[in-house]
Amino acid sequence: MTFPDATRAYPVTLPDGSSHAGTVFLSQVIDHPGWEVGDYTYASDFAPPEDWASRLAPYLFGGPERLRIGRYGQIAHGVRFITSGADHATDGLTTFPFPIFDPARIGSYQPDTRDTVIGHDVWLGHGAMVCPGTHIGHGVIVGAGAVVRGTVPDYAIVMGNPAQVVRMRFNPDTVARLLALCWWDWPPERVAAAVPALLSGDIDGL
């Protein structure tokens, strides 16, 4: 089996030998101060954009918040990260953001500065929306169309609006062992050797 090359922007090679333009390793196509994304995390889109950062996180304007995504993430078509720059102040008599229309004040108006954090080996399903300040744990599966906010525990499966945990992927002992192993931090050659165990669910072999 060929292990993916983390330095390729387009890591999927089709049977005719061409690269699939609709799937990219984000670390190779995003150069944005608000983004931190790990190796091997990919995104797919049926209409590949020129600017993947703006397509996925359209409100990440360059404020203090960060979007941090771990390694080996899987981001389906239509996923959006609604980062803190989208928020309006709610402690006044109106939520209308008057300062953003004043060039002298626009830089000082950001009522919410929370980071959005996505763990390692997270699968975000088609059309999922991740709200400002969300923390998604390692190994999470987010169902198609889910609207995720708050904190999602490691290895949970969440669905719905608002997203709720429908079940855990593994029992607590297996989750603890996986978190202790941290396979996503291993060198690529070690992960490549572990692929059979990873795909078959053989944690003892891992």
Quick check: is 88 catalytic? yes
Q: Return the H-helix or E-strand segment holding 151.
A: strand 151-152
Helices (H), the chain: 26-29, 52-56, 172-181, 188-200
Please tell me the distance from the alpha carbon of residue 29 to that of residue 86, in angstroms, as a whole number: 23
Question: What is the CA angle 141-176-125, rounded to 5?
Answer: 5
Please tell me the distance from the alpha carbon of residue 169 to that of residue 80, in angstroms, as a whole number: 24
Amino acid identity for residue 6 in this structure: A
Please tell me the distance from the alpha carbon of residue 123 to that of residue 113, in angstroms, as a whole number: 25
Please tell me the distance from the alpha carbon of residue 172 to that of residue 175, in angstroms, as a whole number: 5
- Catalytic-labelled residue, pool 20, 32, 77, 88: 88
Active centre residues (catalytic): 88
